[in-house]
Amino acid sequence: MRKIIDIKHHFDDYECMWNGIEDIYVNKTGECLPNNFFFLLSGFGSFCYLKTQKAELKRMVALGDGRTKKMYEFLAPIVGFEYKHHEYRSFEKALIKAKSEIDSGYPVVLGAIDMFYLPYFEKLYHKEHIPFHYILMVGYDDEKQSIYLYDCGRLELLSLSYIQLRNAMNCNYPGLSKENTICTIRMIEERDKIQIAKDALARKKDSFLNPTTGFLGYKGFEKFISELPRWKDEISKEEYDKILTNMVEFFGTVPTIPNAIKGIDEPDFVEFKGGFDKMSRMLRYLGDETKNDYWTKSAVYFDEGAAVIKRVSDVIIEYLSDKEDNTDLLPKLFAEVLEKMIDGYHALDF
């Protein structure tokens, strides 16, 4: 049996868990979205600082929440879609469910999957395991033993053999996704993108400026900045280095360790600006479309924040690659980041 759902696809790299859902939204509403729209509205700006002696990371610092299920939980009611994750013990059962969705006319999100097994990513195929990727399955062909899909990093309709898909879905990303996971989507309402942005950012602004606990929002950020100078005395160098590595890894456009830290003398294919640059571009887009100055004013602050995060990343990379230790500058730099975030949110005067 063979079936392909005809759906328009838009290229928007590095937002894989949202690209397919945005495709479904765009085809339902006819809207045109700025880059990383759902990704930024759901994940950016949810600062969290946790410390524990029991976890592998003794200190955890997050500028945003990149956990797929938490992102969906936050944005689904604002956008107007319903979703359900299905986890299967076998690939065969996951494929049966995915094919049944296609037969009913619904594209389905597959993932997390490992990019190591995706042949259309030549630089990663059979070279690097990145078990944190999502695709939108839009069809299948039993005779060819293949599925048809759209990927955020490619414009064209792609195919993947059942064997390749089996290998790609056989990955477990702790806290995010288990093996053979698919997500079914139902777009139940048609909501305007500007109102979606206002509603989502109003909630983000409130949670950051009025946090419910001391380890979240601006309070958590202040706590982190005040304690950062003591880290070297409180934990071992190995633990300290591991925390900084994790931090800069998630400052990247996609989570990846900078080449310099890995000892690779090649430019990185991602930037390490904590998403502030993307946030600024999205806000400028909304400002240009609506002609409302508060979007543009906020964009300026987040753009300035991107420059500071880049300096933070450079300091960490130089330290971890044994070039120069300027980590004593980090508290001051992070204080500048916090200031930019507060100003950026205050500028969003809806």
| pLDDT tens-digit readout, 10-40 | 999 999 999 999 999 999 999 999 999 999 9
pLDDT, the chain, mean? 96
- Report residue 283 CA to chain centroid gap: 17
C-alpha count within 13 angstroms, C-beta hemisphere, residue 280: 18
Q: What is the mean pLDDT of residues 286-296?
A: 97
pLDDT confidence of residue 52? 85
| pLDDT tens-digit readout, 98-133 | 999 999 999 999 999 999 999 999 988 999 888 889
State the pLDDT confidence band at 153, using cuts at 50, 70 and 90. Answer: very high
- With vertex at residue 344, the alpha carbon angle to CA 342 and CA 345, rounded to the nearest 5 degrees, is 70
- Sign, CA torsion 288/337/268/10: negative
Q: How far apart are CA 134 and CA 89, in angstroms?
A: 19
| pLDDT tens-digit readout, 61-80 | 999 998 999 999 999 999 99
C-alpha count within 13 angstroms, C-beta hemisphere, residue 340: 24
